[in-house]
Amino acid sequence: MLENETIYFDSEQLVIAALLMRQDAFLRVEPLLKGYMFHYDAHREIFNCIAHMTETNECIDLLTVSNRLKNNEALKEAGGILYLADLTGRLLGTEHLERHAQIVFNAFIYRRVVVYATQIQQLARQGDLNGEELILEAQTRLTQIDKEIPMFDSMLEAQNVIERALSAGLKRMERYRNGGTCVEVPTGLSQLDALTSGWQKSELVVLAARPSIGKTALALHFASAAYKAGKHTLIYSLEMSAEKIGDRIILGKSNVDPGHWKFGNCNIYDMEAIESCCGQLSQQSFYVDDTSGLSIPQIRSSARRMQLLGKCDLIIIDYLQLAEMRAETKMQNRQELVSQASRQAKLLAKDLNVPVIMLSQLNRESESRPGKKPELADLRDSGAIEQDADLVILIHRPEHYGILEDRKGNSTVGRGELIVAKNRNGGIGNVFFRYNASMTRIEDYPKQ
């Protein structure tokens, strides 16, 4: 038995209790824990049962799980449904669920090391092997731990890597021959699609600007293009309510005067346009979560749950600096917390294999330069945002600063610019777009 065995037992109980009480709990621990990592038979059986029920999209609670395990001997020995009820009754909250999952994981590793070390010690005492053979045996047994932990067994051989790349390339060629494009998720701006090939799976896209420049407006335009293309789109709005998001979507689709809609003085033509577009929008596959102060791990749990339902092709987070960021130590400053959240957003895109568009603010430096044009260095709070992002797009609207003509004498009224300042998998450049006065409609800018 390990030292502090009581702590490990308590952590197993807390994890199981959380799984029974919270629908999102399994998704929070699933990347780290597997059933065989639990030391106690009853906990192992309960975890495996919940894992299976999650895969089949079944409702998980005290009654459904106990009913599924009513004939399980391990649970009967632990006390049956009374044991489950006792566990859930002692659960105070799930704020530290990931920490308890880590304790369970660590205890599994400790036990495996103890077992293999004991076996190696016995072989050494028997003296049947020479030195080289004993070292090889020790390495073999300890390496066995890697095979028991999925996260350690992810190295791909050259053949697998090449086969994956070739398969993806052949699919792109087939789409092209059939008149399709290589755009994974369309942006809604043809020039931006040409430069980036649209939003690609596993990529983190950072859309950054100063306040009131149009981050949310552009994000909703991107969302509209995605769900029109049949892509399930998740919008996590940390600043704006779902109602206000809905207002913008309706106005963008109906082209009704925002003032009429805001003050309720819509005429009959306005109402016809609104009713028509609302009927169409209600059938689209987009989802909005306007919970304030969500953390990136919480967003991951939510998006993972939607992905299990087959409803997650694009994630939009509005915006990074409003995400909940909890310091693990008192020494962590704001920049370190933003860096941590930025890294979590990149892992979100990679783990779920979907594009993630994350809005971010720029600092004031751009407003002090002539022309007010933003640069990569203006990303607020952290250089890690630039490092983690696959694609960084900066928004520039000269009209907002009273600059009504460019250097060539062309009007900048209603003309915005997307500066693709970083593109890990392609080229950089500038893309123009056209917008109306209220920023509710965004369109391609005519090529000059």
pLDDT of residue 381: 63
Q: pLDDT tens, 180-199?
A: 666 778 999 989 988 888 89
Between 30-34, 94-98, 135-139, 157-161, the lowest mean confidence (pLDDT) is in 157-161
Instruction: Specify the pLDDT at position 135.
Output: 83
Per-residue model confidence (pLDDT) at position 382: 61
Higher pLDDT, 37 or 5: 37
Please tell me the distance from the alpha carbon of residue 31 to that of residue 300, in angstroms, as a whole number. Answer: 11
Give strand pairing partners of 356. 204, 315
What's the pLDDT at 220? 92
What fold is seen in the domain 1-155? Answer: DNAb Helicase; Chain A (1.10.860)
Higher pLDDT, 99 or 178: 99
| Percentage above 90 pLDDT, the chain | 15
Phi then psi for 442, rounded to 5 degrees?
Answer: -130, 135
Greatest alpha-carbon span in the chain: 95
Count helices and strands in the chain by DSSP H and E runs: 17, 9
- Residue 391: pLDDT band by 50, 70, 90 thresholds? very high
Report the 10 Å Cβ neighbour count for 276. 12
The confidence band for 359, taking pLDDT boundaries of 50, 70 and 90, is very high
Res 204 pLDDT > 90: yes
| Delimiting residues of CATH 1.10.860.10 domain(s) in the chain | 1-155
User: Would residue 316 be called left, alpha or beta, if left means φ above 0 and alpha means ψ between -120 and 50 degrees?
Assistant: beta
Residues 370-381 pLDDT 10s: 888 888 888 866
| From-to residues of CATH 3.40.50.300 in the chain | 186-444
Question: Given this model, what pLDDT does residue 205 score?
Answer: 94
Query: What per-residue confidence (pLDDT) applies to 82?
Result: 87
60-80 average pLDDT score: 84
* 326 CB-near residues (< 8 Å, 6+ apart): 295, 337
295-350 confidence digits (pLDDT tens) = 888 888 788 878 878 889 999 998 787 787 665 555 667 777 778 888 888 888 98
Residue 207: pLDDT band with limits 50, 70, 90: very high
- Domain 186-444 = CATH 3.40.50.620: no
Amino acid letter, residue 21: M
pLDDT of residue 357: 95
Percentage of the chain modeled with pLDDT above 70: 92
Chain-wide mean pLDDT for the chain? Answer: 83
pLDDT at 316: 94
- The lowest-confidence range among 128-132, 145-149, 167-171 is 145-149
